[in-house]
Amino acid sequence: MARRAGASRLLILNRTMSIAIQNITKRFGLHPALRDVSLDIHDGELIALLGPSGSGKTTLLRFIAGLEFADARDGRISFQGRDVTDLSAYQRKAGFVFQHYALFNHMNVYENIAFSFRVLPRSKRPPESAIRERVTELLRAVQLEGYEKRLPTQLSGGQRQRVAFARALANRPEVLLLDEPFGALDAKVRKDLRRWLREFHDLTRLTTIFVTHDQDEAFEVADRVVLIDQGTIQQSGTPSEVRNNPANSFVADFLGLTENDAPAARTECQLKTR
Amino acid sequence: MPGATSIHINNRQPLRATGDSLAVRALLIGATLVFFLLFLFFPLVVVFEGAFSKGGAAFLETFRDPYTRHSILLTLVIAAISVPLNTVFGIAAAWCVTRYKFRGLSFLITLIDLPLWVSPVIAGLLYVLVFGAQGWFGPWLREHEIRIIFAVPGMVLATIFVTFPFVARGLIPLMQAQGMKEEEAALTLGANGWQILWRITLPKIKWGLLYGIILCNARAMGEFGAVSVVSGHIRGKTNTMPLHIEILYNEYQFASAFAVASVLGLLAIITLILKTRAEWRAEQELRASSFSTAP
């Protein structure tokens, strides 16, 4: 309890810094996934980690959640000024939405969302009435009222995605992490969910980080875009900053800004390969 | 005319996936059926026919014999000890192999299969060499008056060795295919290792697990070679059903031998039905998980 009080005092001092990542390096075998990455994320920000596949953006997200650990001991990460480097995923309790939802197929929607309460020790577990209230509130927020008894396999992709959102948010995480949240959905549902995420974020101001390889998605939804390639951060800034002042040739290339006729050249290329 | 031919070919296409001619297919199917009837089905019929060759009364009389009863009881006891233990070992091994990456992983997978490659008789001999009177632990065991060889503990050990791979082998491919995204999700939701095992992993693999348990049980009850070496064949003490059948047969009590054998045969049929059902459900389990993870 004493630690908690200390942490909340820090929280007041450091209020604007939600997540601080310092000097993270991670290798998978010989392949370096992250090279000395540092990133500060402010309270209430909505951030997109944008980059090509294999750039290390998902590894960074999983590192924040505690699903991956850094190689070198000098890499640190803190939430709200509280060092969480050595805490495992189940102690950090970051809300995480997986690319393919990872819903529990043998549990209905209600139990999926209530899961983070079910695993609490008895002394900390809220009463069933409070859990019911929270689940109902979340189902309303994701527009799935009345779906409590459905199994995940009886839902469409978009509905499953929204259940995954609700489940990640249930126990009020300090941060919400989304891995390619719209990647597996068709275009129409994608657009709706993007708008929904933006509105939801404006309402709650919950610090949110999402990974995407789709620049339209990143620029349309995020407050700040962090471009990653080859395990390093290439540029970080608001959508207009990045668009108007690409920091290097990778950013310019990736956004298709190298030359004025770059988009046309790309189309030509695509036509040729067909 | 060309149109008619193409329709004709189209109609036959599903049958001709491999391009084999009708004669080849008939030959293969026929050979399989003949083999099945000759080597699997008729022997089973013979067992049941032999069991009732002296009538129903004689059949029942076999099971009033205290030695027969004891052999059935001992078989059940050995299975009741070794199957739960191997279920726990099997889950632990499959968890280890599919959840962690470490040096020597492929060696461990090979080691899990070892009992399938080694002749059961050799497995039994290994235990005699380790725990027997002249074995490594022989003097120590004698000093402490612990009997393992030619006693029930040795038979349990031999059965555990022989039936070890079944649960693990049933689970490893299933758990590999299912992946661990749900487990990771549970982790980020604050579940600890035990909660993940009980609430997420076991429900995910329950039919695959049942499949492994059924096979493990069938083998545990039917095991002959390894158990025979360590048993000592003491009637009413260290005789299981398969060993008892051999003794009855060697004493020319054919009807009784077949009667006990028919119980094992019946067990095999029940196992087959349960196994088929569990297999089917395990497939559904796998499909459900790939359905939810596929884009």
Q: Of A37-41, A45-49, A224-228, B7-11, which gets the smallest average pLDDT? A: B7-11
Confidence label for A30 from pLDDT (cuts 50, 70 and 90): confident
With a cut of 50, say whether residue B119 has pLDDT above it.
yes
For residue B91, the distance in angstroms to the closest alpha carbon of chain A comes to 19
Q: Give the rounded distance of the alpha carbon of B294 from its chain centre.
A: 32
Rounded CA gap, A58 and A195, in Å?
Answer: 22
Cα distance from A143 to chain B (closest Cα, Å)?
21
* Residue scoring higher pLDDT (B238 or A62): A62
pLDDT at B290: 58
User: For B240-287, how does the pLDDT look when each residue is reduced to its tens digit (9 = 90+)?
Assistant: 889 988 988 898 888 888 888 898 888 888 888 888 888 888 777 777
Name the closest residue on chain A to residue B178, using Cα atoms.
Answer: A102
Distance from CA of A100 to the nearest CA of B (A): 5
Of the CA atoms within 13 Å of residue B104, those in its CB half-sphere come to 4
Confidence of residue A2 (pLDDT cuts 50, 70, 90): very low
Which of B188, B194, B197, B285 to probe by mutation at the A interface, max A CB count within 10 Å?
A: B188
The domain defined by B59-293 carries CATH number 1.10.3720.10: yes
How many CB atoms lie under 10 A from the CB of residue A35? 15
Q: Cβ separation of B185 and A88 shorter than 8 Å?
A: no
Q: Which residue has the tokens 């065991």?
A: B141
Q: Quick one: pLDDT band at residue B6, thresholds 50, 70, 90?
A: very low
Residues 6+ apart with CB under 8 A from B142: B133
- B223/chain A closest Cα distance in angstroms: 36
CATH assignment of A2-94+173-243, given 3.30.750.24, 3.40.50.300, 3.40.190.10, 3.40.50.850? Answer: 3.40.50.300
Q: Which residue of A has its CA nearest to B205?
A: A106
A264 pLDDT more than 50 = no
pLDDT digits over B49-74, tens only?
Answer: 888 888 888 888 888 888 888 999 99
User: Considering only alpha carbons, which residue of chain B is nearest residue A118?
Assistant: B191
Residue of B nearest to A89 (CA): B188
The ranges assigned to domains in chain B are 19-51, 59-293
**Inter-residue contact B178 to B289 (CB < 8 Å):** yes
A183 vs B17 pLDDT, higher one: A183
Reported as a single tens digit per residue, the pLDDT across B68-91 is 889 999 999 999 999 999 999 999
Residues from chain B contacting residue A184 (CB–CB below 8 Å): 295
The Cα B118–Cα B137 span in angstroms is: 23
Chain A positions contacting chain B at CB under 8 Å are 65-67, 88-96, 98, 100-106, 115-116, 118-120, 152-153, 160, 167-168, 170-171, 183-184
Nearest neighbour of B182 by CB, restricted to A96, A102, A170: A102
What's the mean pLDDT in A219-243? 91
Q: What is the mean pLDDT of residues B124-133?
A: 84
With 80 as the cut, is the pLDDT of residue A137 above it? yes
Which chain B positions have a beta carbon within 8 Å of A116's beta carbon? 189-190
pLDDT digits (tens, 9 = 90+) for B197-236: 999 999 989 888 988 998 899 899 988 888 888 888 787 7
| Whole-prediction pTM | 0.77
What is the per-residue pLDDT for B4?
41
Contacts of A118 in chain B (CB under 8 A): 199
Mean pLDDT (chain B) is 84
Q: Which pLDDT score is estimated for B170?
A: 86
Residue of higher predicted confidence among B248 and A30: B248
Are residues B186 and A115, on separate chains, in Cβ contact within 8 Å? yes
Is the per-residue pLDDT at A8 higher than 50? no
A71-74: long-range contacts, CB 8 A cutoff, minimum separation 24: A71/A25, A71/A26, A71/A27, A72/A23, A72/A25, A74/A23
Sequence-separated (6 or more) residues with CB below 8 Å from residue A69: A26, A63
Q: Where are the domains of chain A?
A: 2-94+173-243
For B190, the closest chain A residue by CA position comes to A90
Residue to substitute from B184, B189, B195, interface A, most A β-carbons within 10 A: B189
DSSP code per residue over B67-131: HHHHHHHHHHHHHHHHHHHHHHHHHHHHHHHHH---TTHHHHHHHHHHHHHS-HHHHHHHHHHHH
What's the confidence (pLDDT) of residue B88?
A: 94
Give the amino acid at B110: T
Is the model's pLDDT at A273 over the cut of 80? no
Question: What is the band of A28 on the pLDDT scale with cuts at 50, 70, 90?
Answer: confident
Least Cα separation, residue A77 to chain B (angstroms): 16
Chain B's closest residue to A170, CA to CA, is B189
User: Which helix (H) or strand (E) is A218 found in, with range?
Assistant: helix A215-221
Residue in B closest to A171 by C-alpha: B189
- Nearest beta carbon to residue A102 from set B184, B195, B199: B184
Residues shown for chain A = 274
Select from B190, B291, B294 the Cβ nearest to the Cβ of A171: B190
Buried (b) or exposed (e) across A110-129, using 16+ Cβ within 10 A?
A: bbbbbbbbebeeeeeeeeee
Predicted confidence band of residue B31 (pLDDT cuts 50, 70, 90):
very high
pLDDT of A1 reads 39
Contact B181 A105 (CB under 8 A): no
Residue A75 makes CB contacts below 8 A (sequence gap 6+) with A21, A22, A23, A24, A25, A85
Position A181 scores a pLDDT of 87
For residue B264, the model assigns a pLDDT of 87
Report for A64-73, A211-220, A263-272, B95-104: range of highest mean pLDDT: A211-220
Between A264 and B254, whose confidence is greater?
Answer: B254
User: Above pLDDT 90, what percent of chain B?
Assistant: 24
pLDDT at A73 > cutoff 90: no
Choice among A147-161, A259-273, B112-126, B167-181 with the minimum mean pLDDT: A259-273
Q: Do B188 and A167 touch (CB under 8 A)?
A: no
Mean pLDDT over the full length of chain A: 83
Greater model confidence, B278 or A154: A154
- What local confidence, expressed as pLDDT, does residue B149 receive? 80
* Inter-chain touch A104–B200, beta carbons under 8 Å: yes
